[in-house]
Amino acid sequence: MGRGRHSVLAAAVTVVCAVTLLGAPGTAFARALPDPAPPAAPASSSAPSLPPSTSPSVTLPPDQDLEAVRAELDKLYHDAAVATDAYNLADEKAKKQSAEITDLNEKIAGEQRKLDGLKERAGAAASAQYRTGGLPPEVQLMLGNDPQDFFDGAGRLLQSQRATKSLIEETTRAQQDLELYAGDAADHLRELEAGRKAKAAAKKRIKQRIKEAERLEAKLEKRQRERLAELERQAADQAQSAWLSTGILDELKGRASASGRKAVEFATAQIGKPYEWGAVGPRTYDCSGLTSQAWAAAGHPVPRTSQQQWQQLKRVDIKDMRPGDLIIYFDDASHVGMYVGDGAIVHAPRPGRTVTLAGAGTMPILGVVRPTTG
């Protein structure tokens, strides 16, 4: 046998062996991860001990001590609002991560089918090698005495080598893609679990603070509850008057855009519906649930939480405010209302209240954002 023939034969055997190894059983490949189960309700546990209540005895003189009660209630409901924003954010992330995991699982299943097909092709090549005594037909032809058969076989062998190389590369890519998707899905599952824990912790804190506020209010007599409501109205009126005394209404000349009018119409149509933390309608709302659904109805979806709305939407100067814009309140952006014109907002205030109109200046304004630029 000539030296050239020996070289070609060696190359052919090497290629066939490579295909055989790829088709060998026992190779470990990444498996599809299960679709995420719907979030389970957090396990019940005993509530942590609460700090001593600062609420006064019902026998104390009402005015001065009811002011302290009002301040304490404001603090408790504000804390519940902050926790509600954290809950809503964790909920949004969980929905997004669940959808991404489902998509990755579909990709994993597709790559696994592709890899199984490639392994089947490699196995068929190995079986053909076995049937011909360890040598492919092209090599057998090269070992014959006919020169033409030799050249024909050499050409077919080159084609076979290219096909085998392509098969090896494709199989390698498929396995790498499969492992990448599986790794991404595992990362998303870890993030999803962390988000569920954060959501459960926020839910627990919301319920704890609301229960604490209700317990404080329950200690009051009817006349004291009425007086407390009057003190709240007075505080709101004073804050609104102070805001209006700056002459802000004289500066507000902006007219609502078409989408802004639609958002205002939707939001004001919800007046009278109860506040419920985590709710986005249609029967109950929390503050950002109302504003996000109003703008979704207007054809311009906005972020779910008041903090995200403050962070992601375009900020405008308060003197440029127009109906449909969102007013973000408190330094931590824990509350949001929609400006409807004439110095008023529509908003979902807090647990125990309903969607209502209020003065835009009744709470400390952090800033104003606009969902659209049109």
CB-based contact 354:275 (threshold 8 Å) = yes
Q: How many residues does the chain have?
A: 374
DSSP of 2-19, one letter per residue?
A: -HHHHHHHHHHHHHHHHH
What residues pair up with 68 in beta bridges, in sequence order? none
CA distance 104 to 110: 10
Catalytic residue among 78, 188, 287, 300: 287
Residue 294 is which amino acid?
A
Closest residue by Cα to residue 161 from 40, 12, 61, 53: 12
Question: E-strand spans in the chain?
Answer: 314-316, 326-329, 335-341, 344-347, 356-359, 365-370
Q: For this structure, is 17 an active site residue?
A: no
Scan for tokens 């011909």, then name that residue.
132
CB-based contact 80:276 (threshold 8 Å) = no
**253 burial type by CB count under 10 A (0-12 exposed, 13-18 middle, 19+ buried):** exposed
Catalytic residue among 6, 17, 300, 335: 335
CA distance 366 to 176: 49
Q: For this structure, is 287 an active site residue?
A: yes
CA distance 50 to 169: 63
List active site positions.
287, 335, 347
